[in-house]
Amino acid sequence: MPTVLLDNGASSIKAGIVKLQQEPPRIIPNAVARSKGDKKTYFGHEIARCNDYSELHYRLPFEKGYLVDWDAQKAVWDGIFSDEVFGIDTTSSSLLITEPYFNLPNIQEVYDQFVFEEYEFESYYRCTPASMIPYGTLFSQADLPPAECIVVIDSGFSFTHIVPIMNGEIVWTAVKRLDVGGKLLTNQLKELSSFRQWNMMEETYIINDVKESCCYVSTNFKEDLETCRADPKRNPIVQEYILPDLSTNRKGRVRQPDDILTDTDQILVMNNERFTVPELIFHPDDIGLNQAGLAATVAFSISLLPSDLQGMFWANIGLIGGNAKFAGFRDRLMSELQTLAPVDCEVVIYECDDPITEAYRAAFSFVNTPGFESHVVTRAEYAESGSNASRKKFHDWKHRESEKEKLKEAPKPKGKQREEDRSQAVNKISRTRSKPTTVTAPSRRR
């Protein structure tokens, strides 16, 4: 039976069908967009067809990171299951779908309802993106077993989460959320550009591209600020972004030294905007958001973990989510974490080729582990006991008590190899990594 995989983000859905050989996922905007230019409405995957992206008006299924607009979501999902994308019969398929951290129980019920009542999937598994990371290769090192204590930093569209994971289970009491994500950064850049240069308030699509093309995380904020101040027109940081010309269908781009401008070209100058925008992840107080920055929040999260294991968490920090693609993100985080970590702790940060699709790739491996079938809720189980079936089976933040109990219990034989390995590993945790266990590790990606 095929398994449909949806890493269902608030900005994009990373979607695919699990086969033996892994392929890159389709990246589908999780939005319904209305173009003011051609007056057409584009759903999800159709947005790629839209040529007139000036004043695209978005309707997003997610609000502040949570799924609230099911009509818009169904419109996007229908497109994905239709022959325009995968053409898959959901009634004879399994589904793995991701949900936000701390998803609300009443919203989770609606996920169940759509999966089983509207699409009639054979079975499904619902989990957070970070919970899949242990099955992937983000932390993999040649000749070393998977790390038992890791911290996943997921910096996405709606917010940034710090997610410690111990033996494959999220330690929910230490999960922390920074209310800064890609959406806020794009909106901040919109505001700055509009105030300082051109009115870009309706140009979400364009400004998002400006952000992705020009912005970086500064590793020396003070110095960069002075550089931009000294000569705002000519300095090593300033860039010119040539706004798209919709009349000739030319896309926007960063101006290169050999670019000759025409009379109609409009330039958006990116000076300190290049780094003061992503800076908000490290300094939310710059816009009055009273939250500690990313590094301090990571340190706080680790401080909530068992003290004898904290050193292992400091040494296993991994980055996922679109904001991890900003140049300088890792280096800035590293330098700040090194000042916050205890002197005897080594700080190690892991990165991957594509932080946007890492959770998808890890989930792909998870689906291919022999134990996957034991984690799903089946349509029959849902028919029998409704959402109780998923409440019982999916280990999310509400399962903390049962997890505690499990940690205390001595390992006992279980049907599934992975479970067995995990519970045994609990007793093996030490500051150094233990010798390889027979975890059903996914094959290496690269």
| Per-residue contact flags (x/-) with another protein for residues 14 to 53, judged by CB under 8 A | ------------------x-x-xx---x-x----------
Q: How many CB atoms lie within 10 A of CB 186?
A: 23
CB 377 within 8 A of CB 389: yes
- Half-sphere exposure of residue 30: CA atoms within 13 angstroms, side-chain side: 26
**Minimum CB distance to another protein smaller for 63 or for 409:** 63
Report the nearest approach of another protein to the CB of residue 400 (Å): 7
Separation CA 377–CA 102 (nearest Å): 20
- Alpha carbons 116 and 275: distance in angstroms, whole number: 45
Residue 302: both structure tokens together: 């680790």
Of 236, 257, 288, 415, which one interacts with another protein (CB under 8 A)? 288
Q: CA–CA separation, 38 vs 52, rounded Å?
A: 7
Least separation in angstroms between CB 51 and another protein? 14
Select the residue interacting with another protein from 19, 40, 57, 404 (CB under 8 A): 57
Closer to another protein by CB, 10 or 441: give it: 10
CB of 152 closer than 8 Å to CB of 166: no
Of the two residues 84 and 353, which places its CB atom closer to another protein in the complex? Answer: 84
Binding mask 361-400 for another protein (x = CB under 8 A): ------------------------------------x--x
> In this structure, what token pair is assigned to residue 283?
């300094």
Residues 209-268 that bind another protein (CB under 8 A): 225, 228-229, 243, 246, 266
CB nearer to another protein: give 64 or 428: 64
Measure the CA–CA gap between 390 and 276, rounded to whole angstroms: 43
Residues 176-205 that bind another protein (CB under 8 A): 176-179, 183-184, 187-188, 190-204
Residue 245 near residue 261, CB atoms below 8 Å: no
Residue among 22 and 54 whose Cβ is closer to another protein = 54
Scanning residues 132 to 161, which ones bind another protein (CB under 8 A)?
A: 161
Of the listed pieces 116-124, 209-217, 307-315, 341-349, which binds another protein according to CB under 8 A?
Answer: 116-124
Element holding 116 (H helix, E strand): none
In whole angstroms, give the CA distance from residue 405 to residue 349: 31
